[in-house]
Structure 1
């Protein structure tokens, strides 16, 4: 967990209103800062976009439109968007409510896994917010534990609506790759994305909550391939004894074919309600044999999207209280700073939590980085449990070495069960500090020889480790800047830096032409081992998009539909037609034509019916005049003067398509 940091933006005042405080997180689209709204005297979260994104006017325009759309969404289970703007010097920002609490990732990090009852308690609130967004026409596109915020009172909020679409097409490093662990197949394959993509991501999220790990593991590229090509494994194959009805529900939610999934989150709400009615208490509280949830409190954090400010009108009640009583949710606000955004930094502890094993250690490090596992029995120490390392997820990992409390009690264990958890009867006992700890040894020639051999072995081992850390695969280097270079130049730069495990990955982009490098994963400037995989992200040029149906739409609606498809409005001409005035009567290119993203589409707008010249019928016979005008489409009304006995038109007047004739 990374503490809040100050950077060059700390202290900046945005448009004479928002005073930027320390940075709380950094993601693929920008940094999130705690800030103060000077006008309303309240704490808010401000997301300031990365400069390289704001250089693209198309991105800035899309960001503003989607922020406005997200701001229309007001729901107790959705993080509110409060404001959006751009400063004169080019800082594009988004203001959101500030949420005091943690994230679902924190719960999974500490607990390892959740029982169905615990998971469904969180899921019910989350789906309530997501369903509200789907009804408003919003697709989240980035459902993940880091975007599920959990207030200290038990309220669950979904964050980051309306931001991911622009990020997908414009991030130059690893933001897209970093969140692919929950991405629907159609999102990975760059097909049109709708609410069913969110349904898939929710299914993967619930799978992880119940299993303590995701169904697919690996690097970003292998994860993308897995979601695109493989069926999600049945949950019951990974969680012994889980009720088959739960597994069947998740199989529907994570179907590879989009049309086989429920249409939107409203259907998921109904699915969950139906399932809970069918499950008994044992099924809802089921814990597989040998599994054990991790203990300890949850440290509140703020997720990348930032978040929340206004206290609820009433404390949350219901099933979520089950988690609070078990210690899974925070019970009071904390000043513990937030974690780094998951797409930018994945901690070792998080990695262990996702695989369901506890980290292997020789001692537990406290805040002063002392090796408490090496303290004497009389030294004050911090227990493994107190630091939140204990029992995360399923068995299989080794526990930490014994760590002693001040009173001599064991915090760790000397042995484990087959599931990897300590058994109380096997805990070691501290030695008596009053007894001698040094024993005089009579050295024989053999013992001296063994000692010399061990010394030589240690020297060789130290030399090997020095090579490994200094020039071997464990040596670290800084990822070089390769943005805008060719693929060959980028490969040469990273290889010259010492990186040998290099992969090239293509991504459609309107930012750079095909063949130009968009960035790397991890991002430039990252310190990493030279033996780790480094991905180079190369532009494949603009994605191909289909011109949507536009004929018959009002001009404003047609323009909005083009923008949503990634296109712009080109030349606009008007023509007289029988179609309603102001509607589209033609588009070029025509509907369903495949064009590059960002292309313009010309529109022809109806100017209404062509006006008809009104003939002068003054002096004409009333019957002849009436027939002539009606043949031209006019409506004729007659006003008689002096009885109209002569039947001659003396004046005519027009009101739209109605002609009034005065007859004498």
Structure 2
């Protein structure tokens, strides 16, 4: 694909990324002389009508959007070889995922500012009835000047009256998608709000709220499990930001923000009042609304008049009974009131201040709380890289709050760090290990360099060693080769020397004989060096190629070609380019024979061609050294007479 021109306009330069549906290349627009990004549908999907339809839908959805925080779409096309492509704005910078990986948790101001720009992009998309449905840090590009660009509307679709998943498959990235996406249910703008909340959670804490052995287990956690509050991971997160995140990731769509405009308002307020309590949560109301009829006067039952018997013999007895009852009630009331004052410490529950038990062992925390008359509820155990196994990592209510005696304190206990097997990084290039460590849920640690016979960038050793178990999120330190140690030599004076002697001087100085050009000279005798490519007396690197100009004597005298002395033989030398460090590199081939090194080939080549055969000439047996940009990558012994290799 490298070097191909699409639409007679876009020259593919290099691959810069890829996703499940398409590959992304950097290209040069020959018409406008600018760099663009070209997304090309993977070849295996070009015969799949469903994917082609989805690919076209992406281009139509994204092309209808024009906003400073959304990657612009310039062109859409298909060439004669059924290559479907979208041409879009080329953004120089990094993904938000890369920034989080490199720097860890972002500070609150950065998190809020990035969240605002993502919200602005989503607000524009939602206003055009488009739901992104795959908001994640990988799809958020950060320019060098700090601007956010939302990209990859790969599964976005125009919202209609019934938004569902396509052909029964859940759409979205499992670590970031909403509970309704996990269930395959109705998705709308609030699904993007949930994903934005997860992204802000990761920015603020440096980690994801849910992880698991498989996508299914992670999806189930989105549906059923509560998210650990961000301040439990990073205590520097202000209250307002935590409240915004927690409201955005409510499992019930109705309890999230109604729109991205509401999030923007709260994010702006969070910059002014970081510890403010202004985020409004929708509380549950268990009592149903009832319609109560108006109560009229005639609905109130009227008490019937009491008629006393006029019999005089019963009046006296009734009066005695009444006075006796009054006296008894008065005595009992005095006893009851006195008891309240006397036993008030028993009847009235005292308030206790909740102590801080985070970081203590579960047994110690339980004993401390029970000594204060509080109950202990161990809710669950969770993995933690911050707290050792058996230590309390979360408590509710928090330390310092006042509660009644007997109030239950909910504790979460650490299971310790989750272990993962350390992958083998030896003999791999330093540029490759980021993805390897990320897949193993580890991160790159200290990188040290030393001189070594291995090529530049190749890993010499690692700590911990491959195969050992290490806590997830821990660092793997590596020692990297910076190639053989470069030594400087003083360039000898070759001018005036016979060519054979000049060759020996170059070889003994650990330099390499390069191109030798013969010229007529009326003053200098034949076979004497009259010019050298590096001035005598200057310092230069070992193994530097030295070109010479040699006198052919006076004109009329001819220097017999070297080829005429002995018939030259040609050999086809196959060279693989997989060890090239960049797309364009200089290939040099040096022949070592009879103690003399001579450069016999030098040209620019491209790694994307993978391998080529180079025709070289020589006589007898020689050692051939292959260099990529002055780095030696291969050595072969060749018999030019037979055209074969030998030991």
Identify, as 1 or 2, the structure richer in strand.
2
- More relative contact order in 1 or in 2 (CA 8 Å, sep 6+)? 1
Q: TM-score range by the shorter chain?
A: 0.3 to 0.5
- Provide TM-score, normalisation by structure 2: 0.44
